Copies of this chain bind each other. A is one copy, B any other.
Amino acid sequence: MASLLVDKKKKHNFSAGPAILPASVLKEAAQAVENFNGIGLSILEMSHRSADYVAVVEEAVQLTKELLGLDDNYEVLFLTGGASSQFFMAAMNFLNEDETACYVDTGAWSTKAIKEAKLFGNVNVLASSKDSNFSNVPKNYTVPADAKYLHLTSNNTIFGTQQHWWPETDVPFVCDMSSDIFSRPIDVKRFGMIYAGAQKNLGPAGTTLVIIRKDMLGKVARTIPTMLDYNTHIKKGSMFNTPPAYPIYVCMLTMRWLKAQGGVAAMAKHNEKKAALIYNEIDANPLFNGAAAKEDRSLMNVTFTMPNDDLVAPFLDLCTEAGCVGVKGHRSVGGFRASIYNAMPMESVQMLVGLMQDFAKKNG
């Protein structure tokens, strides 16, 4: 642990998002701001119609397809407006006023998705874990066969829960994967749409990955403003208007890194090891309690509390002193949250676990 403490310059970044990115990606991303690929222009000042930049977007799309195993039934877009814009755009593009979409309420983000969808059609909330402060993921509900889609949130950043069980149904999933995309293999064919704000597992803030199965499109009667119609962006390869060029570029670099690590299968193994290390410590350490139901624990956002409130501030001070940032829990849960996305190295998790052990020795 001592050796890690020596390097005060680089923090251990447990932020929930915007979040840690691979060091090699940051280095290349910085270089491109001064001079992209040695062409004598910054990536920030290149035309988005230039061959050099078009190649960036095309590689980002190709890597997304490759990493997730998407076939040609899927369109890949890099849009803006965050996952928050997809809350209404999904319903606007997929749901007619007299049709019904099903939602499962697993926390703050799904609650917002439900609110926005109601502006466009009927919303049937099949299940909610609100009564337990979203500390678990509802299971074993039945999805009506005539539902237009079933909206799920695969990982709940705030509450530290994750979808490890998926309902049996032929209704296509529309899924907010903002905080666990590319962290594990998924059974793609069950998803009609996947969306993810970039700033957790994919890149910096400023772009949103949107993946749409073609059969979801062209079925609503309403008139949609041009910029809100998925078809607009599909027809122009995410280049109908000037795209968020740099955020997409950094996503592309991150996906290159991800592929070099062995892709999502290799990443899942690494993520399981990191999560096991910290959850084991939470379960063994008398000072800490896990906040989420064990079977629904997130491999991305580890939420934990302290029975003794007086020790919360001192432990956060210890974390800060050791260069561990972003460990304070969201106000909805309290305590602590360690976000350990793909780019988080095992060494940083070991560092945090070491702090938990040291703290228990002194305060146990």
Q: What is A's interface to B at a CB cutoff of 8 Å? A: 8-11, 13, 15-21, 26-27, 29-31, 33-35, 38-42, 44-48, 80-85, 87-88, 92, 112, 115-116, 119, 197, 199, 203-207, 223, 225-228, 240-247, 250, 323, 325-326
Contact = CB atoms under 8 A, between A and B. Distances in A.
Nearest to A27: B34
Contact of A205 (B223, B243, B250): B243
A246 B80 CA distance: 13
A29 B250 CA distance: 14
B26 A9 contact: no
User: Which 10 A-B pairs give the minimum distances between C-beta atoms?
Assistant: A206-B244, A80-B80, A30-B33, A88-B225, A44-B204, A84-B241, A11-B40, A82-B241, A205-B245, A30-B34
A203 B44 CA distance: 8
Given A42-B26, A119-B225, A241-B84, A18 B206 contact: no
Contacts of A243: 205
A20 B45 contact: yes
Contact of A40 (B8, B17, B326): B8
Which residue among A16, A18, A39, A119 has the maximum number of chain B CB atoms within 10 Å of its CB?
A18
A85 B42 contact: no
Contacts of A27: 34
Nearest to A83: B241
Nearest to A20: B45
Given A42-B21, A45-B21, A119 B223 contact: yes
A292 B174 CA distance: 49
A41 B325 contact: yes
